[in-house]
């Protein structure tokens, strides 16, 4: 049994069912998902904003003769969702706020292709992945002299690439955040290259950008591309107020998973014809070998 909180006119949630494998399974065995909702009465009188106390729910399946087969119970923790900064998806005490030296460290971003595609992902990036596999630029080698002019037709390969080396996020209780990004690029320098000797010059550059701003978590109706997951979701909105430079952007996204260790954001395709983009972060602290301070 899994218990999840939901809120909204019709109720909503986003989670995976954990189904145990059966040692013996008949051809006519079936699996059912049973959803139970409850409303908070106006006169509950427990806690803030008329929340109700925690309780336990039991589910007892019966066989064809009406005899109980087994009873399964699980505690139901009713959280006050009026303070969305305490939002999480596992019913625990952790939320998006980072304590002390903790940071949310970016692990990967991917946009899956629809079922049946030859490749699993339309886009994929993680800190060690180089995006782009070089490029060919046309130059000239005339009587031993190299030149880079319009009309040249001699191709030479330049080892250019782009790399998202890292991103870290800290969210404070006062509604502000800090973000660090590290990007590396290798840009071609055809004017410094030699087509006669095959010397293709590239200049590598590392960009470190620190930005800050405000953040909120708001309940929103999910766009059509996310309706497979939920009708109503919680969206992390990040508004930048200052930045030391430019780099790959991050305006937040719908919260798919948020617990003590993992943050997964989903960003719908703005054009509406591709799958959503998933951004995955892990919580790190100063004891973690992959931890990098944000200050």
pLDDT, average across residues 16-33 = 63
Higher pLDDT, 158 or 30: 158
* Torsion (CA) 172, 173, 176, 182 in degrees, nearest 10: 20
124-145 mean pLDDT: 92
* pLDDT, position 21: 60
Task: Provide φ and ψ at 57, rounded to 5°.
Answer: -115, 140
Question: What proportion of the chain, given as a percentage, has pLDDT over 70?
Answer: 74
- Taking 60 as the threshold, does the pLDDT of residue 30 lie above it? yes
Average pLDDT, the chain: 80
- Write down the pTM of the prediction: 0.66
Residue 164 to residue 109: CA distance in whole angstroms: 10
pLDDT digits (tens, 9 = 90+) for 38-61: 665 555 443 444 456 677 888 888
Please check the confidence at residue 270 and state whether its pLDDT lies above 70. Answer: no
Average pLDDT over residues 20-45: 62
- For the residues of 220-286, what is the DSSP string, one character each? EEPPGGGTTT-SEEEEEEEEEEEESS--S---EEEEEEESSSEEEEEE--TTSSSPPEEEEEEEE-T
Split at pLDDT 50, 70, 90, the class of 115 is: confident
Query: What is the token pair recorded at 89?
Result: 């998806």
Ordered structural domains, the chain, with CATH? 1-82 (no CATH), 103-132+161-188+202-284 (2.40.128)
Residue 249: partners with Cβ closer than 8 Å, 6 or more residues away: none
Residue 182 β-bridge partners = 166, 208
Q: For residue range 60-71, what is the model confidence (pLDDT) as tens digits?
A: 888 888 888 888
Q: Is 203 exposed, middle or buried (0-12, 13-18, 19+ CB in 10 A)?
A: exposed
How many angstroms separate the CA atoms of 165 and 85, rounded? 29
Most confident of 37-41, 183-187, 244-248: 183-187
């Amino acid at each position: 049994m899994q218990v999840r909180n939901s809120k909204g006119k019709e109720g909503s949630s986003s989670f995976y069912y954990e189904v145990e494998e059966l040692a013996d399974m008949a051809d006519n065995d079936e699996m059912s998902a049973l959803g139970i909702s409850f409303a908070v009465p106006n006169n509950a009188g427990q806690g803030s904003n008329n929340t109700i106390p925690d309780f336990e729910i039991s589910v007892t399946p019966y066989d064809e003769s009406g005899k109980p087969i087994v009873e399964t119970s699980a505690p139901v923790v009713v959280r006050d969702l009026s303070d969305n900064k305490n939002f999480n998806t596992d019913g625990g005490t952790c939320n998006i706020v980072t304590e002390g030296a903790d940071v949310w460290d970016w692990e990967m971003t991917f946009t899956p292709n629809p079922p049946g595609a030859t490749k699993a992902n339309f886009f994929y990036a993680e800190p060690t992945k180089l995006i782009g596999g070089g490029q060919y630029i046309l130059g000239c080698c005339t009587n031993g002299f190299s030149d880079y002019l319009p009309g040249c037709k001699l191709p030479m390969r330049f080892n250019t690439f782009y790399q998202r080396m890292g991103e870290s996020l800290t969210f404070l209780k006062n509604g502000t955040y800090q973000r660090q990004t590290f990007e590396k690029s290798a840009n071609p320098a055809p004017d410094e290259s030699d087509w006669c000797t095959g010397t293709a010059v590239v200049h590598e550059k590392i960009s470190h950008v620190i930005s800050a701003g405000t953040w909120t978590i708001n309940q929103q109706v999910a766009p059509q591309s996310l309706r497979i997951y939920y009708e109503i979701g919680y969206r992390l909105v990040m508004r930048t107020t200052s930045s030391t430079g430019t780099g790959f952007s991050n305006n937040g996204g719908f919260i798919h998973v948020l617990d003590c260790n993992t943050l997964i954001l989903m960003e719908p395709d703005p054009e509406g014809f591709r799958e959503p983009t998933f951004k995955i972060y892990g919580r790190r602290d100063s004891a973690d070998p992959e931890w990098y301070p944000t200050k």
